[in-house]
């Protein structure tokens, strides 16, 4: 095929454009009707994921369930260690369970561990604990006394130290109260001493230790005597006279009641 000169090729091209042939010709025929834009199907949107509702956990009910399986003090301590709903556990070094003689006639229930108790894993081992030991020794009693009739058993409402020794929150007391109740049932003391406001709040449902102290009442199904916490006596030495009167009342009650268990 002879090549066309430029003017001729241009004239032919312009003629084709006038005829409406504006698309290039391909090697294979093209069905122009098939090229008509068709509406694209809308993408199927997946249904939004609904959050799976987690079953609400009742810490108090779970605490009760754990305590029901505890048939002795070792079992109760293990059950308490498995309890995961108290945030205090996350920041504590040790769980403070108890100290003293489980066969004692007197069970002392304090408030919560402090720094020294958290470090050693025993209740009442700091300055307040040392004062408590002196107070008990004044009436010939103690946690390490050789005779069970004159020994004491000591625990707290909370087994883990609150940060900065703050007061326990009501919900913290409520979720750990089943453990305290079971603790009392397993030890079965003759008398209970409630040391401080938090202990009275847990055992009696009320606070106001200056009004409650020295008045015999009942807690956890046992006769109990509210007393000033030794930490309060360290801050307020003038209250030691009332604390001494309460110790004498405890001693008199033990002597008047039945003998040792």
Average pLDDT of the residues in 146-166: 93
Average pLDDT of the residues in 37-47: 64
Domain carrying residue 167: 59-256
Q: Specify if 53 maps to a domain.
A: no
Question: Residue 158 — pLDDT band, cuts 50, 70, 90?
Answer: very high
Question: Residue 260 — pLDDT band, cuts 50, 70, 90?
Answer: very low
As for how many domains the chain has, the answer is 1
Instruction: Name the pairing type of β-strands 222-227 and 217-219.
Output: antiparallel
CATH number of domain containing 146: 3.40.470.10
Which SS3 state, helix, strand or coil, does residue 193 take?
strand
Q: Specify if 12 maps to a domain.
A: no
CA distance 26 to 34: 16
State pLDDT tens for residues 66-125: 999 899 999 999 999 999 999 999 999 999 999 999 999 999 999 999 999 999 999 999
Task: Classify 2 in phi/psi space as left (phi over 0), alpha (psi -120 to 50) or beta.
Answer: beta
Average pLDDT of the residues in 210-237: 97
Rg of the chain on CA atoms, in Å: 40
Residue 30: per-residue pLDDT: 60
Q: Specify if 7 maps to a domain.
A: no
CA distance 236 to 238: 5
CA distance 247 to 227: 9
CB 126 within 8 A of CB 115: yes
Task: Please name which of 205, 227, 204, 236 lies closest in space to residue 217, comparing C-alpha atoms.
Answer: 204
Average pLDDT of the residues in 146-170: 94
């Amino acid at each position: 095929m002879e090549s066309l000169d430029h003017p001729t090729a241009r004239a032919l091209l312009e003629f084709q454009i006038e005829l409406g042939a504006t698309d290039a010709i391909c090697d294979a025929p093209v069905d122009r009707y098939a090229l008509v834009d068709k509406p694209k199907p809308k993408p199927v949107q997946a249904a939004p994921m609904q959050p799976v509702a987690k079953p609400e956990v009742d810490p108090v009910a779970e605490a009760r369930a754990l305590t029901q399986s505890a048939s002795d003090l070792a079992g109760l301590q293990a059950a308490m260690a498995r309890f995961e709903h108290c945030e205090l556990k996350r920041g504590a070094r040790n769980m403070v369970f108890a100290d003293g003689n489980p066969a004692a006639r007197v069970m002392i229930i304090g408030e919560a561990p402090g720094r020294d108790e958290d470090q050693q894993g025993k209740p009442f081992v700091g300055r307040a604990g040392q004062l408590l030991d002196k107070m008990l020794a004044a009436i010939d009693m103690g946690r390490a006394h050789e005779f069970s009739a004159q020994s004491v058993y000591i625990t707290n409402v909370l087994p883990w130290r609150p940060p900065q020794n703050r007061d326990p929150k009501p919900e913290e007391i409520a979720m750990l109260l089943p453990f305290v109740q079971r603790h009392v049932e397993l030890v079965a003391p003759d008398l209970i001493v409630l040391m401080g406001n938090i202990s009275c709040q847990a055992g009696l449902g009320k606070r106001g230790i200056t009004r409650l102290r020295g008045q015999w009442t009942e807690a956890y199904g046992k006769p109990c005597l509210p007393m000033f916490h030794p930490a309060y006596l360290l801050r307020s030495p003038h209250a030691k006279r009332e604390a001494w009167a309460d110790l004498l009342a405890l001693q008199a009650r033990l002597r008047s009641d039945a003998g040792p268990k």
